[in-house]
Structure 1
């Protein structure tokens, strides 16, 4: 009786040599999901339970929160993790349901573009937010901004 070895398929050889992006996407979804649960419930607690409830959320409330670097980092993490988590989920849906390669590629590029634009704009809003800009028309500023600015 002779024993012959069957050579591994090319796809298995390629998988051993390259990074498995699907595996890392799967791991990211699980880890970011757990972190997002903590961030979201913390966000809801601070905004709705710890203060005066939803009636207290206004421009001054956000300005006060974003004056503290802790909340700037908290909201930045929430923005980035949630957007990338959602985009990764949409990418999976596109891969599952877009059968034509050109359509799949176009949808993935549109998803990537919109995700990048939203991440940039959201991050800019968080880090450049100034409730009392110097030289602004005093009639347009909130009441908590000093008149001497």
Structure 2
């Protein structure tokens, strides 16, 4: 039977050198959560409350928003923070509940790979989005007002 030492008894602490990634992951979750609340509520306010609400969200609305570098950076921050926040949360769940080290490593690799792919694709979409595509307006609906007529 094992016993627990008295709370104030001296103990030999094993010092590990290097970075405490669990501590930094915990701090990231708190900081990114606060920033994400601001970003998401700002996003919802602009898209749902101001203007005509949900009815106004179409290709022209998104093209108009992403024509501004401010909204590109806003959406990019929201994308990156949310995906990294979610992947870190999944990593924590995998660490807590995976039954074997090999399974945990495979699952963490899958979470990392999927988050990396989604971050890369989302970033490409935000920065390579062409608000004035070379297709007829009939195929997309209404084009933004700043696009030249075709």
Structure 2 gaps, min length 5: 1-9
Q: Contact 1:131–1:142 (CA<8 Å) still a contact in 2?
A: no
The aligned residue for residue 5 of structure 2 is none
RCO (CA 8 Å, sep 6+): is it higher in 1 or 2? 2
Structure 1 residue 8 corresponds to structure 2 residue 31: no
Structure 1 gaps, min length 5: 1-5
- State the alpha-carbon separation in 2 of the partners of residues 59 and 141 from structure 1: 7
Structure 1 residue 86 corresponds to structure 2 residue 90: no
Q: Secondary structure at the match of 2:15?
A: helix
The aligned residue for residue 24 of structure 1 is 24
Q: Contact 1:79–1:119 (CA<8 Å) still a contact in 2?
A: yes
The aligned residue for residue 129 of structure 1 is 129
Deviations 1:18-77 (A, max 9, x none): 110000000000000000000000000000111111010001000000001100000000
- State the alpha-carbon separation in 1 of the partners of residues 55 and 135 from structure 2: 27
Q: Contact 1:132–1:141 (CA<8 Å) still a contact in 2?
A: no
- TM-align CA RMSD: 1.7
- State the alpha-carbon separation in 1 of the partners of residues 140 and 57 from structure 2: 17
Alignment coverage as a number of residue pairs: 137
Which protein is richer in helix relative to its size?
A: 1
Correspondence list, 1:1-149, <5 A = 8-9=12-13, 12-14=14-16, 17-133=17-133, 136-138=134-136, 140=139, 142-144=141-143, 145-148=147-150
Q: Contact 1:47–1:53 (CA<8 Å) still a contact in 2?
A: yes
Q: Contact 2:83–2:115 (CA<8 Å) still a contact in 1?
A: yes
